[in-house]
């Protein structure tokens, strides 16, 4: 599956520019993290889908970086704890996919995934990739200070081979903003409502596409939004030229709200659809909703 990127970086006098939809190649061996911790699958959140939770992880989201002087309310702490426990899993014909919240020590692999995607799409010279990675990392760090009003999810995939199971791989990522406090200050056109949930920056490792990973990144995002937001509407962008993602979104019941004017071509941008879907609202589980298994 192709990817949808709408990153914004502090570069120009207005402090922003946007990145459009791209694809990428991703080599896990080039990254410092070869294995990634998967939460204990015996901790389950009651849900209609295949979602699970963990009681703890190697890095707590409560220890993540926040802006100096920012204090979290009781509600924000509860939401942060829920994000830490969130895990979506799905068995595929070719293997298993897990989706959970990105931890601080996983920023660098996601930086490579997103930066290389943009560089490949825009045919950037290789000499610029380190600068681009620096900008993407600054973006991710800045965005993470807005948790729990936004979140970056990451997908892991373990395939099935004849002689057993493959090693687990980082497979993809997606970003979600839940409300206006987590909205990006500079959104691509057509502009979605800032007080509504918004899905962007979806990327899947090129070697792992066509396995349903992008679909389950989308489904995990929708389930998390249903639990974290009081709004029933979720928005996303899709470029007009990207047929495969558009077919996936329409299959998931997203409808076109509006489309970019042809005048955006004068700004060297691809025309995009703004799409919307109504989601069922699911309240966050209480402590009594979480069941534990010793198996």
pLDDT computed for residue 121 by the predictor = 67
Strands 255-259 and 272-278: antiparallel
pLDDT computed for residue 4 by the predictor = 52
Residue 217 near residue 174, CB atoms below 8 Å: yes
| Residue-averaged pLDDT of the chain | 78
The tens digit of pLDDT for each residue in 189-247 reads: 999 999 999 999 999 988 898 999 999 999 999 999 999 998 889 999 999 988 999 99
In the chain, where are the structural domains located? 28-62+75-231
pLDDT computed for residue 167 by the predictor = 83
Return the ∠ at Cα 119 (arms to 274 and 186), rounded to 5°: 40
Return d(Cα 165, Cα 168) in angstroms, integer.
9
pLDDT exceeds cutoff 90 at 18 = no
Catalytic, 249? Answer: yes
More confident residue, 266 or 100: 100
pLDDT exceeds cutoff 90 at 16 = no
Strands 198-204 and 233-239: parallel
Residue among 88, 157, 249, 254 flagged as catalytic:
249
Strands 290-292 and 272-278: unpaired
Q: Is the pTM of the predicted complex or chain greater than 0.85? A: no
pLDDT exceeds cutoff 70 at 44 = no
pLDDT exceeds cutoff 50 at 116 = yes
> What is the CATH T-level fold of the domain 28-62+75-231, as seen in this structure?
Aminopeptidase (3.40.630)
More confident residue, 149 or 284: 149
pLDDT exceeds cutoff 60 at 293 = no
């Amino acid at each position: 599956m192709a990817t949808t990127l709408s990153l914004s970086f502090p570069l120009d006098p207005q402090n922003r520019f946007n990145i459009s939809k791209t694809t990428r190649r991703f080599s896990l061996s080039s990254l410092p993290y070869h294995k990634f911790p998967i939460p204990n699958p015996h901790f389950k959140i009651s849900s209609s889908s295949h979602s699970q939770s963990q009681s703890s992880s190697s890095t707590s989201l409560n220890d993540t970086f926040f802006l100096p002087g920012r204090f979290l309310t009781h509600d924000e702490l509860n939401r942060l704890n829920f994000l830490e426990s969130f895990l979506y899993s799905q068995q595929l014909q070719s293997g298993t996919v897990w989706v959970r919240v990105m931890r601080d020590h996983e920023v660098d692999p996601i930086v490579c995934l997103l930066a290389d995607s943009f560089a490949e799409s825009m045919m950037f010279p290789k000499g610029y990739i380190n600068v681009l990675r620096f900008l993407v990392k600054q973006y991710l760090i800045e965005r993470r200070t807005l948790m729990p009003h936004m979140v970056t999810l990451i997908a892991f995939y373990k395939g099935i081979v004849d002689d057993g199971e493959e090693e687990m791989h980082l497979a993809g990522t997606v970003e979600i903003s839940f409300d206006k406090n987590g909205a990006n200050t500079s959104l691509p056109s057509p502009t979605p409502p800032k007080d509504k949930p918004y899905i962007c920056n979806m990327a899947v490792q090129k070697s792992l596409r066509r396995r349903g990973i992008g679909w389950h990144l989308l489904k995990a995002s929708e389930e998390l939004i249903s639990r974290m937001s009081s709004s029933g509407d979720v928005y996303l962008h899709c470029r007009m030229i990207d047929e495969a993602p558009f077919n996936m979104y329409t299959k998931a019941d997203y409808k076109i709200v509006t489309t970019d004017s042809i005048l955006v071509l004068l700004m060297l941008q691809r025309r995009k659809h703004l799409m919307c879907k109504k989601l069922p609202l699911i309240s966050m589980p209480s402590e009594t909703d979480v069941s534990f298994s010793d198996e």
